[in-house]
Amino acid sequence: MTYLLIVLSYVLGSIPSSYIIGKVFHDIDLREHGSGNLGATNAFRVLGARSAIPVISVDVLKGFIPIVLFPTIASVGFGWILAFGAAAIVGHMFSVWVAFSGGKGMATAAGVFLGIAPWAVLVGLIVWCGVTFSTGYVSLGSIVTAFALPFLVAFTPHQGGLTLVWFSVAIGSFVIWAHRGNVKRLFRGEEHRFGTRSRGVSENGEEPESVA
């Protein structure tokens, strides 16, 4: 049963919410527009806020549900609960339904930690908002928050003790790795700011010029 729940966590995490909303409501494949990424940020830039809000809500739930619901189905230790969360994050980033593409893990990771370290998520949201709205870069907000995650977990109430702290190190590092393209664009001064709308996708998968 435990291994089946790991698979179910991955399958749940792999539901491509932005792809589904883009195709159903806009007849757009997000992989062919903006950055080509299936995360909430690209959904916002290409589809607008009305579509991005349900995308991010579903992506958070994809991480939250396995952490909260699945342990009630099978009595497992804390390590297995973290495995459920990790599987959901991997599913979101490498979805089997869309040729193993996906988002960059931030929203689904937030859902995972919301179930086991909600105070860390609350403070992390404040950090993310502060960095994002002061600089205009969503990616920088996500990278800084991912870097800060282990410290936020360590210094706020949470389950799991040091096990969760080390888990947060791994997840934070994974999310930063997923943003490696953004890091390069930030250093080159080519990263686009929050609040712009994108059209099309460049040959190398990077965002073209955006339109306000």
Residue ranges per structural domain of the chain: 2-194
Backbone angles phi, psi at 73, to 5 degrees: -85, -40
- With residues binned 3-state (H G I as helix, E B as strand, rest as coil), the percentages for the chain, rounded to 5, are 70, 5, 25
By mean pLDDT, which of 38-52, 56-70, 155-169, 171-185 is the weakest? 38-52
SS3 category, 210: strand
166: which residues sit within 8 A by CB, 6+ positions away? none
Q: pLDDT tens digits, residue range 136-147?
A: 899 999 999 999
d(CA 96, CA 87): 12
In the predicted structure, residue 75 carries a pLDDT above the cut 90:
no
**Burial group, residue 6, by CB count within 10 angstroms (0-12, 13-18, 19+):** middle
3-state secondary structure 139-169: HHHHHHHHHHHHHHHHCCCCCCHHHHHHHHH
Q: Which residue has the tokens 């960059």?
A: 104
CA separation for the pair 64, 80 (Å, rounded): 14
74 pLDDT exceeds 90?
A: no
> What span, in angstroms and rounded, lies between the C-alpha atoms of 142 and 202?
23
pLDDT at 205 over 50: no
DSSP state of 36: S
In this structure, which long-range contacts are made by residues 91-95, counting pairs with CB atoms below 8 Å and at least 24 apart in sequence? 91/9, 91/10, 91/11, 91/12, 91/13, 91/14, 91/15, 91/62, 92/13, 92/14, 92/59, 92/62, 92/63, 93/178, 94/14, 95/13, 95/14, 95/15, 95/16, 95/38
Q: Give the pLDDT confidence score for residue 58 in this predicted structure.
A: 95
Q: How far is CA 184 from the centre of its chain?
A: 19
Task: Say what the pLDDT of residue 197 is.
Answer: 53
Main-chain phi, psi angles of 179, to 5 degrees = -95, 15
> What's the whole-model pTM score?
0.87
